[in-house]
Amino acid sequence: MDAYFYIILAVGLLSTLVCVAAGIMKKAPNDITILSVAAVELALLVYLVGSIVRVIAGEQIAGEAWEFWGYLATALLLPVAAVYWSILERTRWSNFVLAAVGVTALVMAARMNQIWY
């Protein structure tokens, strides 16, 4: 596991906890929950830039490159889709959709790490 995975682990779990807590408290999505998901997106963008730099520097992806980049592209789209959902549906249930982003990004980062190494 590399540092990118641990960053996504920390940010993703924190975002999930914040969003689940807001959902349990029957709150509509707010700046805190949406910004926590934005932090997951930022962590994924750092992973993207880091991965590009590593490839340019000559590091090889051990698995299928298309699979790695596909996972990364999908992971980058998830926070955007969840925030869009939360803006359209301003109910407490949207917080649970936002909460799923952190866990899903974490699982996808673990898989990307397996493909890389």
Buried b (16+ CB within 10 A) or exposed e, 65-82: eeebbebbeebbebbeeb
Residue 104: the pLDDT is: 96
For residue 59, which of 51, 68, 49 has the smallest C-alpha distance? Answer: 51
Does position 8 have pLDDT exceeding 90, yes or no? yes
Taking each helix axis from N to C terminus, what angle separates 93-116 and 31-56, rounded to the nearest 10 degrees? 10
Does position 29 have pLDDT exceeding 80, yes or no? yes
Q: What is the pTM of this model?
A: 0.92
φ, ψ (nearest 5 deg) of residue 94 = -65, -30
Does position 2 have pLDDT exceeding 90, yes or no? no
